[in-house]
Amino acid sequence: MLTFANAKINLGLAVTEKRPDGYHNIETVFYPLKMYDVVEITDAEETSCVVAGGIIPGNAEDNICLKAFNALQQDFGLPAQQITLLKNIPVGAGLGGGSADAAFLVKLVNDKFNLGLSDAQMEGYVRPLGADCAFFIRNKPVLAYGKGDEFEVIDVNLSAYFIVLVKPDIHVSTADAYSGIKPTRAPTSLKDLIHLPMKDWKAQ
């Protein structure tokens, strides 16, 4: 059984303050993007995760999809599964590929084993895995705030536009990206800016 996990882009990003837990409070708009990883689960003698199409930094046992499945397996006594990821979304590009894979895996397991989990319950499983994981459960444009896991649905539609992604051949970890930022509150909220004509976005 397989599914297609899409990427996301950020429309604007304000890093407003450093939190006591080490994260940063942000304000951004998450927008789903039609670029996909493939996530497949099949019955197996023991649970494992196989990655094709790209290299994911870190140890195999720390894979975010494996962590998501292990949490569900512990609560529901699920049989072992082989998780296969075909990576098309660039790693370390801010496109949410790993978070999407974990969220779509949870939705896939929910469907395969008829767990009956609600969107809110599935968000509860993926929220500890990454700040933007919960976004991919409902997978609709949202204003994201807090550390990126609190959402307000907004009306943004870019279907009339072509979106061109340029990905240099470098990997930037989230921690490294945030370490060079001096948090500051934006003079105008993205909630207001996002409804301006697109030609006015750059000037803000």
Q: Which of 119, 132, 199, 200 is catalytic?
A: 132
Instruction: For the chain, list the strands marked E by DSSP.
Output: 2-18, 24-43, 48-52, 81-86, 142-145, 150-153
CA angle in degrees (0–180, nearest 5) for 100-149-19? 125
Q: Are 14 and 190 in contact (CB under 8 A)?
A: yes
Catalytic residue status for 8: yes
Residue pointed to by tokens 């006015």: 200
**Helices and strands (H and E) in the chain: how many:** 6, 6
Catalytic residue status for 182: no
Q: Which of 8, 67, 87, 107 is catalytic?
A: 8
> What is the total residue count of the chain?
204
Other C-beta atoms closer than 10 Å to the C-beta of 57 total: 10
What residues act catalytically? 8, 132
